[in-house]
Chain A
Amino acid sequence: MKEALQITEVDNDNIIVPAPKKLAIIQLSRLGDLVQTCISMEGLKTSNPDIQTTLFARKKFARPLMFILKDFFDEIILLPNLNEAKDTIDGHRLLLDSLNQVKNTTFNACINLSYSKSSGWLTTFLKSNYKLGLSYNTDGEVIIPDKWSQYIYSVVMRGTFNKINLVNIFQKIIGTNAEPRVITNPNNNYNRITINPFSSSEKKNWKPNKWVEIIFKIAKKHREKTVAIIGGKNDRHMAKVIEESPILAPFRSRINFHVGNTLQENSQIIKSSDLIISHDSLTAHMASFYKRPNIIISLGTVRVEETAPFLENSFLISPTTNCFPCFPNDQCSDYKCHADVSYQLVSEVIDRVLNETSMENVSFKDLPVFLTSSAQVFKTKFSSEGLLTTTSMTETTLKAKNLFGSLLRVATLFLHQNIEETIPFPRISRELHQDFLQTLLGLQHLYELAEFGKKYSRFILEEVTKTTPNLVEIKSYSTKIDEIDHLQNLLSKTYSLLIPVIEIHTVKKANLIGNNIVELTESSFWCYDQCSKMCSILYDLIENTLAESKHNLAQSRTPEV
């Protein structure tokens, strides 16, 4: 009630009107993440017109996107480019200048959607009683109070198991409705194909010569179309290599270069294109933002399911290289994943998409094996709950990590949102079968440890409620809980597929809710309970998958009568 009184004001007619609710969103990541944040906020203003939104973003990323951001945020606080500061004192002064505007603001809620140390400390600095996402306590320890941010910190940030699209995760954190997004004006014919052959990192994009082949094929086969090459100022030298390629010379009148344009200018080109082709970059998210058909080539560090354009019928091409996707700090000299996606495959996908009137009908089942031996094609689709799924359109050998990631998605959505998602039974290899039998054993151990955790948490609660609690007993139970946590962490060394499950539990356990021993122990009990439920669900899913695969194998071996 006190808070409600604080946020009311009296207008001229002496009628008390509630002051707008202030929501702060912290997104210090790059351009693509800012566009994804906007997509995840679609509908927020319509369903909650009284919300006043403030975005905290870095100037160098937010300023070029102002034309989009201004529709989603009432106030945008730009954090200065501190590499331009004279020294650290000057840097501090510049930051204080930009934060001055919100010095006295108390936000009703503060959501950190980026997971860098700086975003966490910014969230800590802001005044708000309700903070979601990463922040720090007075001892400098990490605080992540909500389950979806815990999921980001434990699964998205720590490995390659995540199969839930980042926009869907952001929507769950912000509380916006997940709605399917479809291509707008699918029958409009602009006769333009837009290509962005560049990205923010060398690991994520092909060398220009491969793009030259793609552009050549498009220009030769689709004579009615013009090709627009877009990119930023930093891409000019690579664009020059493409521009000067002799094989493109005969088609120069239909190839237009817009490299170095502002993002607003390029957004106009994207909006009026029949197809956008790019690596996983800002352009991919802009295509999704403007709901235009797109084909994305995912290489290097890109996680296909996590950052796929949030739009139905987007096509993604990715390599099946063992080390794909890698991490930004992994050293790589030969970029095998770049070679594994051939320009012939990409050209074939482009042709099929352009030649088909409806994206629904595009099929890749009959693609020659030599094109798909080291790469696969995905298509995006929305579930009835508005969750984006990426389905492989080509035959491929399933990797243990991918299958376990899909099962983890099913289990997480059920535990966090009570959503029962179904996935078709996959065809699994003998090696995968063995891996999963091992994992079942690991899940059994993890389940048993979680049950012990519940038991000792309960013992502490029972001891505390006694008239004269025995402190020695409480201490011994607490030691047992520490041992359980240690053993759970050891399991990740033997059963590598269980790493995300153990990480989720560890992050949850580090963020217990409560101010006294009773509240904390209750929270600990529920934390172990969640871990044990997660193990049960995953165990069931794996057991059924293995049984179905065994059944299918037996049927295929039965001789026909």
Chain B
Amino acid sequence: MEKLIVKVIEEKTKCESLLTNDPTNFDITKYLSLLLMEEDIADERSATNN
């Protein structure tokens, strides 16, 4: 799980820099999957904490 979180953050940063520097190469579905993955991980963690 921790590895996945690091990977999500890493790839999200890459996508965001693409969005500002080279929007033509920006893949909206890839970025969307990373955002959803981040939300799902956060949900799972808060459920575990509860």
**Which residues of A come within 8 Å of B, CB atoms?**
28, 58, 60, 79, 81-85, 87-88, 91-92, 94-96, 99, 116-118, 121-122, 124-125, 138-140, 200-202, 234
Contact = CB atoms under 8 A, between A and B. Distances in A.
A125 B29 contact: yes
A110 to B, nearest CB: 14
A82 B28 contact: no
A95 B33 contact: yes
Given A117-B35, A121-B35, A88 B40 contact: no
B11 to A, nearest CB: 5
Contacts of A140: 16, 19-20, 23
A99 B29 contact: yes
The secondary structure that dominates the A interface is helix
B30 A92 contact: yes
Nearest to B24: A138
A121 B40 contact: no
Given A82-B37, A234-B50, A122 B43 contact: no
Given A121-B31, A138-B23, A234-B50, A87 B36 contact: no
A118 B36 contact: yes
Contact of A88 (B8, B16, B28, B43): B8
Contacts of A138: 23
A82 B50 contact: no
A82 B40 contact: yes
Contact of B33 (A28, A88, A139): A88
Nearest to A205: B50
B2 interface: no
A414 B16 CA distance: 40
Interface in B9-34: 11, 16, 19-20, 23, 28-34
Contacts of A84: 40
Nearest to B41: A83
A122 B36 CA distance: 10
Q: Among B4, B23, B33, B35, find the residue whose CB has the most chain A CB atoms closer than 10 A.
A: B33
A96 B20 CA distance: 24
